[in-house]
Structure 1
Amino acid sequence: MSCLKSGTLILLTLASATLASHADVKVPAIFSDHMVLQREQANPVWGLADPGEKVTVTIDTQSKTTTADANGNWKVKIDPLEVGGPYTLTVKGNNTLTFDDVLVGEVWICSGQSNMQWSLMNTNFGPLEIASANYPEIRLITVPMKGTQEPQFTFDGQWQVCSPQTVPEFSAVGYLFGQRLYNTLGVPIGLIDNAWGGSSVEGWIPPEKFDVDEYHANYLKDWQDRMANYTDADYQQELDKWLAAAAQWKANGSQGRAPRKPVDPRTDKHRPGNIYYGELLPTVGYGIRGVIWYQGESNAGRAYRYRTSFPLMIETWRELWDQGDFPFYWVQLADFRDETDQPGDSNWAELREAQTMTLDLPNTGQAVIIDVGEGRDIHPRNKQVVANRLAMLALTNDYGYDFAAESPVYESMEVKEDGKVLLTFDNIDQGLYTFDVNEPIGFSIAGEDQQFVWAKGKLVGKNQIEVWSDEVSEPVAVRYGWADNPVVNVQDRNGLPLTPFRTDDWVITTQDK
């Protein structure tokens, strides 16, 4: 048994060691009234009990019985159920737990950092979205943010019926994605929101997986060395500095941004494994269809390493869940910060490239939103477009719908005798299109000197663009949308933007970090 496939067992064993007696059978909070079970598959139910205690799980006409092991761990799998409900699920040991209003449909995890955490009430048309959120067959559950190196068995939360009263603080992207699925599929939808604003991808990965390469091993060791002798006194020292700075800021008339309260690094969202142990693990194994993910901003400074970190996280989650290569769809970083007059380097562009490269994993998809960001705000308010593009990926890849859902991507380039470059693209539906003006905008071109200049462009047929610059007679590389906040306008005619790309493999700014 691998260390990952036994993740739930490790969790329960460590959790049981902290309890004087199980006496009452227990299950984690992911099982509660109003939950949604994933259709078309056997769904695990697990928990704690006295060692040797007989535990029976009953739902509909099914009854599954097992015996708690020496550490008090138990698990059963219930057979697939008919879509709909409501069902009642009971767990009986020395005591009986009863969960009512259980539905069967589609379950998705909504994860990442603040753009996934971003609440519905703070998004565009928030009041309208909230007022119209009367969907009793959509169910919502939020996992609280908890950073720890101690594996957690459960969390403080429960499933809620979607309504104008329960949805305002839920993930906007998650809810809007689920709403699109419900309106299309007509089956119950369960949404598990475990996003944590500002989190790094490393926090979501078990520490034992950091042996994947030297960089990640050193990254983990740096954290371990830092935390080895870190004490309450060390954190108090940081708090005292902050209190002094805050007092000075107030004395100066509260001008500018207030000093930020320090975070205890022992429970920090960047520490390897902290989110995995504290937030993810109590849900690992719960029956799901897939994951939608919106994260990367906090990893932009290590964009080159995201090429490894992000696929590692996806593969680790899939192994932990033991449900095969379940769908995993993410949002590529939007445009952000100031626009630039000249082509240049960009760690956000490098992070976007790492995200695109992760499409090499099976059953993955990327929602490109380079057209909906806000230069002044890292949190674009237009979450409807984000949710639409994620939902299109799910509907076409997982539910049998047939329409364009993937953004156009770079395929190949050909340098012609006249110094022009012919670019060919894939994932083209109705044909390439330029928004607002006729000329393609956002391309830069370089020769062997690696000095990029803006390029002129022209659409050529359905899936090709010709680019050139009078300043580069012998071009060898082309880039598109290669900036924090690029000015770009190429899309498919159905509105899906061209994926930012580069044709070169030259050293990038985050490669040596």
Structure 2
Amino acid sequence: MNRLCLVAAGLFSMGVLSAAAEVKMPAIFGDHMVLQGGKTIPVWGMAAPGEAVTVTLGKDTKKTKADAAGKWRVDLKAEKASTAATTLLVKGTNELTFTDVLIGDVWVASGQSNMEFGVKGSSSSAAALASGNQPMIRLFTVPRATAAYPMSDIGPIKTEGVGKWWVCTPESLGYGVWNGFSAVAYFFGRDIQKFTGMPVGLIHTSWGGTPAEAWTPYDDLQKEPLLADVAANHAKLLAGYDAAMTSLPQSIADYKEKHAAWLADVKPGNDAALKAWQARVDATPVGEPLPVRPALVPEPQMPDPTGGPNHATALYNAMLAPIIPYGIKGAIWYQGESNAGRAVAYRTLFPLMIKSWREKWGEGDFPFLFVQLADFNAQWGMLREAQSKTLSVPHTGMAVITDVGTYKDIHPPFKEIVGDRLALAAEHVAYGKKLVYSGPVYTSMKVEGASVRLSFDSVGGGLAIVKRPVSGKDVVEAPDDVLVGFTVAGDDKIWHKAMAQIVGNDVVVTSADVTHPVAVRYGWDAPPVANLYNKEQLPASPFRTDDWEK
């Protein structure tokens, strides 16, 4: 049990003791769930110490006994994916029956707000909801929660529709913490279900504005010297955790008093300043510098002994640990904005997080697919580079979306394209299909007098200039007849816009301002305005040929 739960546990001790003799299952098990096919199926829970437990799925039955701590687990034999529903039966002194269970592929979808962004907010929401009756797709959203230690089950359910499995319908697509179920996860899952023809289970667990270290196990953070400051911060929290819990009632009382005063005296001024700033933002033409967001008096925060959602390992403990080791096919990830200020550290942190998840799940190097950050008015070149470098981790894939963002909104609504590109990567990485699933990837450069020749992998049918697949308000347009997005520098490290031309499967770059070029960058501006694709209409990932600090 998470130590944060101990406060409430004492209040309900009689109920807990009476229930301890019954078999209990984590909330990730439920009616309408999808169990992972093609590999052994972990099933686990709690019972009285020594209690006999029998688990049956179809014709397979396994028996075990709860250990001294009341924990038990069985691994059922691998089952083939099937559109026919089955039943999972768990017997101890009581009996639990889970109906309408499907065998198929289960994908975990995680990250920050662009993964959390719901179907109802997407640009294709009307069509998605109209075709939302997808009985072979099942949805599960993990409720938001934080914890100082790994939890055995998900936290309290405060939002309608989360914390249980749902058959995908227009109604259940509306359940979630922000405009419904994760749009990226749904569009990805819809493509995968169409590709395989078999059931797909989507477990959505994300929280807006959170960094990758919040999703990483503490024991693995401790092993990495480059992340020593992150691990030390959590060690400090743990050292003061018991004292913080003891003083929590008084801290909450103090917070309520301060918050009431803030609401009365400060919030109106903050709201007026934000309204005026937003009006200036709305009036700013796309491509011009945006006005600086005003400095606001921060809102007092409810005291949280776990450190809150941005604290190291807090979300792994509360929103991932409770669903491990539920059988999965792989994971999709959309995150990075909150780590942009520590992009160099992300080169270490992100691969470490992937490695940690794989080790905790114990299913080997399962496919891990992620989204490179979209085009937005921010200096994200270094973070995108850190994401690209993570492709060196086995069985990973990346969806490039620097052509579907918006200049003024960090949450672009074009989530269907994001899901489609992730699914394309999954077809290759997870399912072994031979296809072009990536846009051009820079491999090498060669200086030829005053020009630079750039070579690429993943050119597919050939390099091409392609018009962006989205348009509308705040979308930065790129020409569809001239190659743009390249800059070049000499030894002085001063960057100049470059002329670029496709020559076969290469790009040749020149600039009248640089007679002796030494380095090239592509898609590095804020926001990147670039239009190099392959003929399969997949965009090239931003890159640089230098290793300069700026």
TM-score, scaled to structure 1: 0.90
**Selected match of 2:59 from 51, 58, 61:** 61
Number of residue pairs the alignment of both structures matches? 488
Instruction: Give the superposition deviation at 1:90.
Output: 0.7
Deviation string 1:391-414 (CA, Å, 9 cap, x unpaired) is 101112222433211121110000
Report the equivalent of 1:163: 169
The answer as to whether partners of 1:246 and 1:259 remain within 8 angstroms in 2 is: no
- Structure 1 residue runs of 5 or longer lacking an equivalent are 1-7, 339-345, 509-513
The aligned counterpart of 1:313 is: 353
Report the CA distance shift for 1:401/1:20 in structure 2 as closer, same or farther (over 3 A): same
Q: Name the residue aligned to 2:511.
A: 469
Tell me which residue corresponds to 2:127. Answer: 128
2:454 aligned residue = 423
Q: What residue number does 1:485 align with? A: 527
The answer as to whether partners of 1:45 and 1:76 remain within 8 angstroms in 2 is yes
- Find the counterpart in structure 2 of residue 209 from structure 1: 220
Give CA deviations for 1:198-218 in whole Å, capped at 9, x if unaligned.
Answer: 111011111121223333112
Match of 1:430, SS? Answer: coil
Q: Does 391-400 or 161-170 show the bigger shift?
A: 391-400
Q: 2:273 aligns with which of 256, 265, 285?
A: 256
* Partner amino acid, structure 1, of 2:220: K
Contact in 2 for aligned 1:27/1:46 (Cα 8 Å)? yes
Report the Cα offset of residue 133 of structure 1.
0.4
Counterpart CA distance in 1 for 2:76 and 2:196 is 24
Distance (whole Å) between structure 1 residues aligned to residue 80 and residue 226 of structure 2: 48
Give the aligned residue type for 2:368: F
How high is the sequence identity, in percent, across the aligned residues? 44
Q: Give the match's secondary structure for 2:152.
A: coil
Equivalent of residue 344 in structure 2, options 289, 299, 304:
304
CA contact (8 A) 1:144 1:194 kept: yes
- Kept in 2, the 8 Å contact 1:16–1:71? The answer is no
Cα displacement (A) at 1:373: 0.5
Query: Aligned partners of 1:53 and 1:81: how far apart in 2?
Result: 27
Task: Give the equivalent residue in structure 1 for 2:497.
Answer: 454
Instruction: Supply the distance in 1 between the matched residues of 2:361 and 2:317 (Cα, whole angstroms).
Output: 14
Match of 2:208 among 197, 201, 209: 197
**Secondary structure at 1:272 match in 2:** coil
Cα 1:226/1:243, change in 2 over 3 Å: farther
Look up the equivalent residue of 1:103 and give its one-letter code. Answer: L
Q: Deviations over 1:321-370 (max 9, x none)?
A: 111100000000001127xxxxxxx3x11110000000000000000000
Moved more, 401-410 or 23-32: 401-410
SS at match of 1:266: coil
User: Amino acid of the residue matched to residue 410 of structure 1?
Assistant: Y
In 1, the alpha carbon distance for the partners of 2:208 and 2:269 equals 30
What SS does structure 1 have at the residue aligned with 2:533?
strand
What's the Cα RMSD here? 2.5
| Cα distance between partner residues in 1 of 2:300 and 2:540 | 40
Q: Secondary structure at the match of 1:167?
A: helix
The change in CA–CA distance for 1:400 and 1:225 in structure 2 (over 3 A counts) is: closer
CA 1:240–1:491 in structure 2 vs 1: closer, same or farther (change >3 Å)?
farther
CA distance in 1, matches of 2:217, 2:439: 32
In the aligned structure 1, how far is the partner of 2:455 from the partner of 2:270? 58
Structure 1 residues 297, 29: closer, same or farther in 2, change over 3 A?
A: same
Give, in angstroms, the shift of residue 470 of structure 1. 1.5
Partner residue, 2:183 = 172
Matches within 5 A, 1:390-405: 390-405=422-437
Distance 1:226 1:505 in 2: 36
Partners of 1:265 and 1:271 within 8 A in 2? no
Residue of structure 2 equivalent to 1:246: 263
Distance 1:503 1:253 in 2: 44
Give the secondary structure class of the aligned counterpart of 1:504. coil
- CA deviation after TM superposition for structure 1 residue 73, in Å: 1.0
Give the conservation status (yes or no) of the 8 Å contact 1:239–1:261.
no
Q: Distance in 2 between matches of 1:288 and 1:349?
A: 32
Deviation at 1:47, TM superposition (A): 0.7
Using a 3 Å threshold, how does the CA distance of structure 1 residues 203 and 453 change in structure 2: closer, same or farther? Answer: same
Paired AA for residue 29 in structure 1: A
TM-score scaled to structure 2, two decimals? Answer: 0.84
Pick from 76, 84, 88: which aligns with 2:74? 76
- Structure 1 distance, partners of 2:236, 2:299, is 23
Matches within 5 A, 1:338-417: 346=379, 348-416=380-448
Report the AA paired with residue 337 of structure 2: E
Shift of 1:220: 2.2
Contact kept? 1:34, 1:102, Cα under 8 Å: yes
Q: What's the offset of the Cα at 1:186?
A: 1.0
> 1:125: Cα distance to partner?
2.2
